[in-house]
Amino acid sequence: MALDTVRSILGQRCAMYIVITTGVLLLVLLPSVGAQSTNRDSPPWLRFAAVATDECLPDELSTLRKIVPMFIHWHYARHAEWLQDEVIDPILEAITKEEEGQEGTAKGRGPIFRLLLALLQAADGAQAEQVKSGIPTYVLLENLRAGRAPREKEVGRLQNAFMPHLTCLSEHRKTIEYLTELNRMPNFPNPIVNPTGKMGRFIGNFMRKHIVVDHVAITQGILIAALNAHKSIQPLARQSRTKAASLVLLEKALEKLEPKAADEVRWGGSKKALRDLLDGRAELKKRQEMAIQELVDSFTALPKDYQEIFINLVPSSSPRS
């Protein structure tokens, strides 16, 4: 009988131990499972190691105050990386191959070389001046590519610092995730829609303004130079293999710069695409002015606490309440 009593006590204690252990495990694992579930709901490129719940700031406004400057820093770095490695690099590669006679092109700095150089002049005038001074283009291309890995590493560091904090947001998480789509240039969402929530209209207007004003300010001059070069080379390419080879290099650079424009060239020809671009500049200016005004209007409609957070996303010359 004493043995039965001992067995009963041990059984009760084992059951209590199992219950307590299971409870502790659930407390530890559930936040992690919840974060993983939240990550599964995000686009693949936004999945990341989540910040632990106890590391989050006490409210969403505090989190936004912390992460909006982090996003701005990350975005500027990503934009610089895109310009250097996805725009200027293909342009310099095309010019280098033209100068050295690679891939069937004519060797030297002839008329086609000068047409391609106009793209570099529009993208990075300082590098174009170095080419004009006699520096071989392959030297500039090698120097540019030497900095690629550090640029990529810095952008990755900033992304990894920013992304985990999204798990600290609930009400505004989808809105901020949508904002990060600006870092996928030039493949922006089309059309841009206003996210739901009290700051959704402002974020949508900021994204539209950024694309139609800031992004276009960088790309339009390069695009005009590219279409002008294509219009000049295309008729010659029908009779010359070297010109046809140069045209292929140019189209590769154009595809990186503006995929939509590359499609327009393939279907309608560069002459029409250039004409449409030049004829549309007046309408573009109106769209840009409207985009800025709508951004300012939606900013002034934000609650004061949100205005303090997003003030650096509004043009400094605009009136701020």
Report the 3 state secondary structure along the chain. CHHHHHHHHHHHHHHHHHHHHHHHHHHHHHHHHHHHHHHHCCCHHHCCCCCCHHHCCCCHHHHHHHHHHHHHHHHHHHHHHHHHHHHHHHHHHHHHHHHHCHHHCCCCCCHHHHHHHHHHHHHCHHHHHHHHCCCCHHHHHHHHHHCHHHHHHHHHHHHHHHHHHHHHCCCCHHHHHHHHHHHHCCCCCCCCCCCCCCCHHHHHHHHHHHHHHHHHHHHHHHHHHHHHHHHHHHHHHCCCHHHHHHHHHHHHHHHHHCHHHHHHHHHHCHHHHHHHHHHCHHHHHHHHHHHHHHHHHHHHCCCHHHHHHHHHHCCCCCCCC
pLDDT in tens, 6-21: 345 445 544 454 444 4
pLDDT in tens, 162-177: 999 999 999 999 999 9
The whole-model pTM stands at 0.81
- Per-residue pLDDT at 79 exceeds 80: yes
Q: What pLDDT score does 42 carry? A: 53
pLDDT bin (cut points 50, 70, 90) of residue 5 is very low
